[in-house]
Amino acid sequence: MNLTKALADENRVRMLMALRDGELCVCQITELFGYAPSTVSKHLSILFQARLVESRKDGRWIYYQLPDKKAPAMVRQALAWVEKSIAGSSQISADNQHLKRILKLDPAELCKRQCK
């Protein structure tokens, strides 16, 4: 588990903060950050390897969420530290506002648009 590598990138930390309120489809995360799907997948893979996120597949869709209470103590502590450290930042506030707009969109439409 490489927590330091996972937390060393601002974009991965922002992804963790975006997942605070529940699971998101990869398409929604891609839309939030505006990166290529491959870039988002690489970041999510690093977070997954560090056990900072969990995933589930539902048909074509892959959803990510923060780990539950059964996660190792080190993971729970790292997530709590991240949230406490940057929760009030202007970037996180802007991400939250953008995410609210994204959540109103159909994930299937987001995926179609991103796959063009």
Domain count, the chain: 1
Single-letter amino acid code for the residue at 38: S
Q: What domain range is 84 assigned to?
A: 3-114
Rounded-to-integer distance, Cα 77 and Cα 82, Å: 9
Residue 106 in contact with residue 31, Cβ under 8 Å?
A: no
107 pLDDT higher than 90: no
Q: Alpha helix (H) ranges present in 34-116?
A: 37-49, 73-86, 90-102, 107-114
Give pLDDT, residue 60: 81
The per-residue pLDDT for range 22-43, each reduced to its tens digit, is: 999 999 999 999 999 999 999 9
13 pLDDT higher than 70: yes
Check which CATH number belongs to the domain holding 88 and give it: 1.10.10.10
Q: How many residues does the chain have?
A: 116
Residue 33 in contact with residue 91, Cβ under 8 Å?
A: no
Helices 26-33 & 90-102 angle (0-180, nearest 10): 130
Q: Half-sphere exposure of 43 toward its Cβ, with a 13 Å CA cutoff?
A: 21
Share of the chain above pLDDT 90, in %: 74
44 pLDDT higher than 80: yes
Residue 55 in contact with residue 62, Cβ under 8 Å?
A: yes
**0.75 exceeded by pTM:** yes
1 pLDDT higher than 60: no
What number is the average pLDDT over the span 68-81?
A: 92
Share of the chain above pLDDT 70, in %: 97
